Chains A and B, each alone.
Chain A
Amino acid sequence: MDDAVVTPTERPASRSIGILTRVVRVVGWTSIVVGVLILGFVVQQLFVTTWFAQQHQTALAEEAEQHFITAEISETEYIPPAPGGTPGNGAVTPGGGGWSTDEQPPMDSERRTLLIESRPETGSAFAIIRIPTIDRLKDGWVVVEGVQLRNLKNGAGHMPHTPLPGMPGNAVISGHRTTYGAPFHELDELNPGDTIEVDTAVGTHIYEVREVIIVRPTELWVTEPRDGAWLTLTTCHPKFSARQRLIVFAELVGGPNWEVIYT
């Protein structure tokens, strides 16, 4: 029974060991729980969202193909912007500059018709974007109408109130860079001269990259109308951050409407 007797000097020591054990246990369990939550976050954001996006893409690809067959295509007269900046149904620069002096618009007597498709409903798949130099996009990624979060979870999103791809002005398409399939993950690898193709019901529009820049998310000027026919791609920058935006400006160089707009 002498063994069970605790001397006054041993008591505080064993008590502190007990407290220390409890603290270590709480810290240990907290670390495990936090670690599991962080791991869950990474798995959910990188893999689960991508899995969902790929499932949506499969269904949307069929929807887009159907849209190419059933969409109503019409012809409309193309009136390019006047030298003074008066808009036709083409585009003018943000400053209203219209055509430059060495790039005169055609005479009024020239009749030119654009092939146009009716504006798709929000959320519907209407185009496929393909970038041959980017692995993830060389087979194409479906573009849906709208840039709400729910739209961008399914595919790249076309900004409403900007022209459809292949039309005069500035067609803007946004896409995820890290999550939901990350279609624009490697957009920073594009260089001036690289080709971007966009399939629509009208045909395949071919763009050539002119400029890649980084801006703040609030810099709306990148979406403003431009002379000619442009495609602007926007995504988050840097990777794994929503702090800035990577912008790719590309100009139409081929397709069913190119000749009408540029000659």
Chain B
Amino acid sequence: MRQWFLGLPGPMPLKVVIAVVVVVVGLVALFFVYDWIGTNMLDSGGTIG
């Protein structure tokens, strides 16, 4: 993790911004994947047809 962070381009403030953006985008993508799996396998809302 530390190596990945230090490997990010730019000065330290830019590294922090990039890291935050990457984490947020990753979490949002993960939530979409969770939602897709949940809707298709766990609970589709009970609709018919």
Contacts and interface: CB of A to CB of B under 8 A. Distances in A.
B5 interface: no
Contacts of B37: 41
Interface stretch (A85-93, A203-211, A212-220): A212-220
A174 B45 contact: yes
Contacts of B42: 45, 178-179, 240-242
B47 A177 contact: no
B23 to A, nearest CB: 14
Contacts of B43: 45, 176-180, 182, 236, 240, 242
Interface residues of A, number: 35
A241 B41 contact: yes
A184 B47 CA distance: 12
Contacts of A246: 46
Contacts of B25: none
Contacts of A218: 48-49
Interface residues of B, number: 17
Contacts of B47: 147, 152, 157, 159, 174, 217, 234
Give the interface SS of chain B, mostly helix, strand, loop or mixed: helix
A223 interface: yes
Contacts of A45: 34, 38, 42-43
Nearest to B43: A178
A235 B34 contact: no
B44 to A, nearest CB: 4
A87 to B, nearest CB: 22
Interface in B5-48: 30-31, 34-35, 37-48
A241 B37 CA distance: 11
A157 B44 CA distance: 12
A172 interface: yes
Contact of A245 (B35, B40, B41, B48): B48
Contacts of B30: 37, 40
Contact of A184 (B31, B34, B41, B46): B46
A39 to B, nearest CB: 11
Given A37-B30, A184-B46, A217-B49, 10 more contacts: A44-B34, A147-B45, A174-B46, A182-B43, A217-B47, A218-B49, A220-B48, A240-B43, A241-B41, A242-B44
Closest 4 CB pairs of A and B: A235-B46, A152-B45, A178-B43, A242-B44
